[in-house]
Amino acid sequence: DRTGISHTVTTDANQNDYTVHNATVIAGGSKEICCSRPLKTQDSMDYQLTNSPTTVIYAIGPSDNIDANHGFYRGNFAPVNFFTGS
């Protein structure tokens, strides 16, 4: 079941630490997601529902389009489409 949701992924100043986000799953309800490993540009990013360790959310989208602000600012990935399922 590849139910789509949209969300903007935020990294830390060094753009290598993950951050917990809220995202709405169209199939029902609000889910909190946390990336399973550090974010990097041009990566294939896998996400995981924090309350369901067996369910993986696959990030399909322009993950290489990053607005990088260095120093103490945050960088933002472009909106990414998430899909539940395998």
CA angle, residues 12, 19, 5, in degrees to nearest 5: 120
Please, what is the end-to-end C-alpha distance for the chain in angstroms? 8
pLDDT (tens digit, 0 to 9) for every residue of the chain, 86 residues total? 334 444 444 444 444 333 334 333 333 333 333 333 344 433 334 443 334 333 333 443 333 222 332 222 223 333 344 444 43
Token pair belonging to 39: 């974010």
Say how far apart CA 83 and CA 79 lie, in whole Å.
13
Say how far apart CA 5 and CA 56 lie, in whole Å.
13
pTM, two decimals, is 0.18
Closest listed residue to residue 58, CA positions, set 50, 67, 49, 66: 49
